Structure 1
Amino acid sequence: MHLFPELQLSQSFKLAQRAFAALLDARQFDPSLALAARGTLAAIDRIEQARLTRWLAWQSHARNPQALGRIERVDLRLAAGVLHARARLPASGRPVLSGNPRRTA
Protein backbone atom coordinates (compact mmCIF):
# COMPACT_ATOMS: atom_id res chain seq x y z
CA MET A 1 0.00 0.00 0.00
CA HIS A 2 1.29 3.46 -0.92
CA LEU A 3 0.85 6.32 1.45
CA PHE A 4 0.67 9.83 0.09
CA PRO A 5 1.21 12.87 2.28
CA GLU A 6 -1.95 14.83 2.96
CA LEU A 7 -1.97 18.45 1.92
CA GLN A 8 -2.17 20.62 5.02
CA LEU A 9 -4.03 23.86 4.46
CA SER A 10 -3.95 26.65 7.01
CA GLN A 11 -7.11 28.15 8.43
CA SER A 12 -6.34 31.50 6.81
CA PHE A 13 -6.03 29.83 3.39
CA LYS A 14 -9.37 28.07 3.86
CA LEU A 15 -10.99 31.39 4.81
CA ALA A 16 -9.53 33.02 1.69
CA GLN A 17 -10.91 30.20 -0.47
CA ARG A 18 -14.35 30.55 1.09
CA ALA A 19 -14.35 34.33 0.66
CA PHE A 20 -13.36 34.12 -3.01
CA ALA A 21 -15.82 31.29 -3.65
CA ALA A 22 -18.63 33.44 -2.23
CA LEU A 23 -17.49 36.34 -4.41
CA LEU A 24 -17.39 34.22 -7.56
CA ASP A 25 -20.70 32.46 -6.85
CA ALA A 26 -22.70 35.65 -6.25
CA ARG A 27 -25.20 36.55 -8.96
CA GLN A 28 -24.01 40.15 -9.04
CA PHE A 29 -20.83 41.82 -7.84
CA ASP A 30 -21.11 42.60 -4.15
CA PRO A 31 -18.58 45.11 -2.78
CA SER A 32 -18.86 43.68 0.74
CA LEU A 33 -17.83 40.24 -0.54
CA ALA A 34 -14.91 41.83 -2.39
CA LEU A 35 -13.81 43.62 0.78
CA ALA A 36 -14.03 40.36 2.74
CA ALA A 37 -11.95 38.57 0.11
CA ARG A 38 -9.36 41.36 0.09
CA GLY A 39 -9.10 41.17 3.87
CA THR A 40 -8.15 37.50 3.76
CA LEU A 41 -5.17 38.12 1.45
CA ALA A 42 -3.11 39.76 4.20
CA ALA A 43 -3.26 36.64 6.38
CA ILE A 44 -1.76 34.19 3.87
CA ASP A 45 1.93 33.78 3.05
CA ARG A 46 3.55 33.65 -0.40
CA ILE A 47 3.23 29.89 -0.83
CA GLU A 48 -0.45 29.98 0.07
CA GLN A 49 -0.95 32.98 -2.22
CA ALA A 50 0.55 30.96 -5.10
CA ARG A 51 -1.83 28.10 -4.26
CA LEU A 52 -4.74 30.53 -4.14
CA THR A 53 -3.69 31.98 -7.50
CA ARG A 54 -3.67 28.52 -9.12
CA TRP A 55 -7.02 27.66 -7.50
CA LEU A 56 -8.51 30.93 -8.74
CA ALA A 57 -7.18 30.21 -12.24
CA TRP A 58 -9.13 26.95 -12.29
CA GLN A 59 -12.18 28.65 -10.80
CA SER A 60 -12.11 31.50 -13.31
CA HIS A 61 -11.91 28.94 -16.10
CA ALA A 62 -14.77 26.79 -14.79
CA ARG A 63 -17.15 29.36 -13.29
CA ASN A 64 -18.98 32.34 -14.70
CA PRO A 65 -17.30 34.56 -17.30
CA GLN A 66 -17.21 37.52 -14.87
CA ALA A 67 -14.88 35.70 -12.46
CA LEU A 68 -11.67 37.33 -13.68
CA GLY A 69 -13.27 40.78 -13.62
CA ARG A 70 -14.37 40.23 -10.04
CA ILE A 71 -10.88 39.13 -9.03
CA GLU A 72 -9.49 42.28 -10.70
CA ARG A 73 -11.79 44.42 -8.57
CA VAL A 74 -10.36 42.78 -5.44
CA ASP A 75 -6.65 42.94 -6.29
CA LEU A 76 -4.98 43.75 -9.62
CA ARG A 77 -1.74 41.88 -8.88
CA LEU A 78 -3.68 38.77 -7.90
CA ALA A 79 -5.71 39.03 -11.11
CA ALA A 80 -2.52 39.31 -13.17
CA GLY A 81 -1.19 36.17 -11.46
CA VAL A 82 -4.47 34.37 -12.13
CA LEU A 83 -4.34 35.35 -15.79
CA HIS A 84 -0.74 34.10 -16.02
CA ALA A 85 -1.63 30.83 -14.26
CA ARG A 86 -4.71 30.42 -16.43
CA ALA A 87 -2.54 30.56 -19.55
CA ARG A 88 -0.60 27.56 -18.23
CA LEU A 89 -3.66 25.41 -17.50
CA PRO A 90 -3.69 22.04 -19.26
CA ALA A 91 -5.28 22.36 -22.66
CA SER A 92 -5.64 18.68 -23.52
CA GLY A 93 -5.00 16.99 -20.21
CA ARG A 94 -1.24 17.67 -20.32
CA PRO A 95 0.33 20.57 -18.42
CA VAL A 96 1.92 23.28 -20.49
CA LEU A 97 5.59 23.80 -19.66
CA SER A 98 6.64 27.37 -19.14
CA GLY A 99 10.08 28.33 -20.41
CA ASN A 100 12.87 25.84 -19.92
CA PRO A 101 11.92 22.71 -17.99
CA ARG A 102 13.89 22.12 -14.80
CA ARG A 103 16.53 19.45 -15.17
CA THR A 104 17.01 18.86 -11.44
CA ALA A 105 14.67 18.18 -8.59
Structure 2
Amino acid sequence: MSSIAELRLSQSFKLAQRSFAALLDGRHFDASLAMAARVRIAALDKLDLGRLTRWLAWQSWVRNHQALTRIERVDQRLAASVLHARSRLPADGRPALSGNPRRTA
Protein backbone atom coordinates (compact mmCIF):
# COMPACT_ATOMS: atom_id res chain seq x y z
CA MET A 1 0.00 0.00 0.00
CA SER A 2 1.31 3.42 -0.93
CA SER A 3 1.41 6.43 1.36
CA ILE A 4 1.29 8.84 -1.59
CA ALA A 5 -2.09 10.44 -2.16
CA GLU A 6 -3.46 9.62 -5.58
CA LEU A 7 -5.32 12.22 -7.57
CA ARG A 8 -8.68 10.81 -8.50
CA LEU A 9 -10.30 12.49 -11.45
CA SER A 10 -14.00 12.16 -12.09
CA GLN A 11 -15.30 10.66 -15.29
CA SER A 12 -17.03 13.92 -16.20
CA PHE A 13 -13.71 15.80 -15.87
CA LYS A 14 -11.89 13.27 -18.04
CA LEU A 15 -14.56 13.54 -20.74
CA ALA A 16 -14.46 17.35 -20.66
CA GLN A 17 -10.68 17.27 -20.89
CA ARG A 18 -10.82 14.96 -23.91
CA SER A 19 -13.42 17.16 -25.60
CA PHE A 20 -11.31 20.28 -25.17
CA ALA A 21 -8.14 18.47 -26.23
CA ALA A 22 -9.83 17.47 -29.50
CA LEU A 23 -11.10 21.02 -29.97
CA LEU A 24 -7.68 22.60 -29.34
CA ASP A 25 -5.76 20.08 -31.46
CA GLY A 26 -7.88 20.49 -34.59
CA ARG A 27 -6.60 22.45 -37.56
CA HIS A 28 -9.83 24.41 -37.81
CA PHE A 29 -12.59 25.25 -35.38
CA ASP A 30 -15.21 22.48 -35.39
CA ALA A 31 -18.66 23.49 -34.16
CA SER A 32 -19.62 19.91 -33.29
CA LEU A 33 -16.56 19.59 -31.04
CA ALA A 34 -17.44 22.92 -29.43
CA MET A 35 -20.96 21.69 -28.73
CA ALA A 36 -19.60 18.48 -27.22
CA ALA A 37 -17.28 20.51 -25.00
CA ARG A 38 -20.17 22.76 -23.95
CA VAL A 39 -22.23 19.71 -22.96
CA ARG A 40 -19.30 18.33 -20.96
CA ILE A 41 -18.86 21.63 -19.09
CA ALA A 42 -22.47 21.45 -17.91
CA ALA A 43 -21.77 18.10 -16.22
CA LEU A 44 -18.90 19.43 -14.09
CA ASP A 45 -19.12 20.42 -10.45
CA LYS A 46 -17.26 23.47 -9.09
CA LEU A 47 -14.13 21.51 -8.15
CA ASP A 48 -13.83 19.88 -11.57
CA LEU A 49 -14.56 23.17 -13.32
CA GLY A 50 -11.67 24.74 -11.42
CA ARG A 51 -9.40 21.87 -12.42
CA LEU A 52 -10.47 22.22 -16.03
CA THR A 53 -9.87 25.96 -15.93
CA ARG A 54 -6.31 25.49 -14.65
CA TRP A 55 -5.64 22.75 -17.20
CA LEU A 56 -6.97 24.95 -20.01
CA ALA A 57 -4.79 27.83 -18.79
CA TRP A 58 -1.70 25.67 -19.27
CA GLN A 59 -2.99 24.36 -22.59
CA SER A 60 -3.68 27.85 -23.92
CA TRP A 61 -0.13 28.81 -22.95
CA VAL A 62 1.65 25.87 -24.63
CA ARG A 63 -0.61 25.01 -27.58
CA ASN A 64 -1.48 26.95 -30.70
CA HIS A 65 -2.10 30.67 -30.55
CA GLN A 66 -5.82 30.19 -31.24
CA ALA A 67 -6.52 28.06 -28.16
CA LEU A 68 -7.97 30.88 -26.08
CA THR A 69 -10.14 32.04 -28.98
CA ARG A 70 -11.54 28.53 -29.36
CA ILE A 71 -12.26 28.30 -25.65
CA GLU A 72 -14.03 31.66 -25.87
CA ARG A 73 -16.22 30.41 -28.70
CA VAL A 74 -17.32 27.53 -26.46
CA ASP A 75 -18.00 29.57 -23.32
CA GLN A 76 -17.05 33.20 -22.66
CA ARG A 77 -17.16 32.89 -18.86
CA LEU A 78 -14.85 29.90 -19.01
CA ALA A 79 -12.49 31.82 -21.30
CA ALA A 80 -12.42 34.72 -18.82
CA SER A 81 -11.58 32.28 -16.00
CA VAL A 82 -8.88 30.68 -18.14
CA LEU A 83 -7.41 34.10 -18.92
CA HIS A 84 -7.37 34.95 -15.21
CA ALA A 85 -5.73 31.61 -14.35
CA ARG A 86 -3.25 32.10 -17.18
CA SER A 87 -2.19 35.45 -15.76
CA ARG A 88 -1.13 33.64 -12.58
CA LEU A 89 1.07 31.12 -14.41
CA PRO A 90 4.82 31.49 -13.95
CA ALA A 91 6.53 33.30 -16.83
CA ASP A 92 9.03 30.55 -17.62
CA GLY A 93 6.75 27.59 -16.89
CA ARG A 94 8.33 26.77 -13.54
CA PRO A 95 7.00 27.73 -10.11
CA ALA A 96 8.75 30.74 -8.67
CA LEU A 97 10.47 30.46 -5.33
CA SER A 98 9.44 33.10 -2.88
CA GLY A 99 12.14 34.45 -0.60
CA ASN A 100 14.86 32.10 0.55
CA PRO A 101 14.17 28.45 -0.23
CA ARG A 102 14.11 26.13 2.78
CA ARG A 103 17.12 23.84 2.99
CA THR A 104 15.49 21.31 5.32
CA ALA A 105 12.10 19.73 5.54
On whether the aligned pair clears a TM of 0.5, the verdict is yes
> Alpha carbon RMSD of aligned pairs, Å?
1.6
Gaps of at least 5 residues in structure 2 are 99-105
Question: How much does 1:94 deviate?
Answer: 2.5
TM-score (norm 2): 0.86
Q: Which residue of 2 aligns with 1:71?
A: 71
Residues 96, 31 of structure 1: CA spacing in aligned structure 2 closer, same or farther, 3 A cutoff?
A: farther
Give the % identical residues: 67
Q: Distance in 1 between matches of 2:86 and 2:97?
A: 11
Residues 96, 17 of structure 1: CA spacing in aligned structure 2 closer, same or farther, 3 A cutoff?
A: farther
Residue 18 of structure 2 aligns to a residue in which SS? helix
TM-score (norm 1): 0.86
Residues 5, 41 of structure 1: CA spacing in aligned structure 2 closer, same or farther, 3 A cutoff?
A: same
Q: Which residue of 1 aligns with 2:33?
A: 33
Q: Distance in 2 between matches of 1:3 and 1:58?
A: 28
Following superposition, which runs of at least 4 residues in structure 1 exceed 4 angstroms of deviation? Answer: none
Q: Which residue of 1 aligns with 2:49?
A: 49
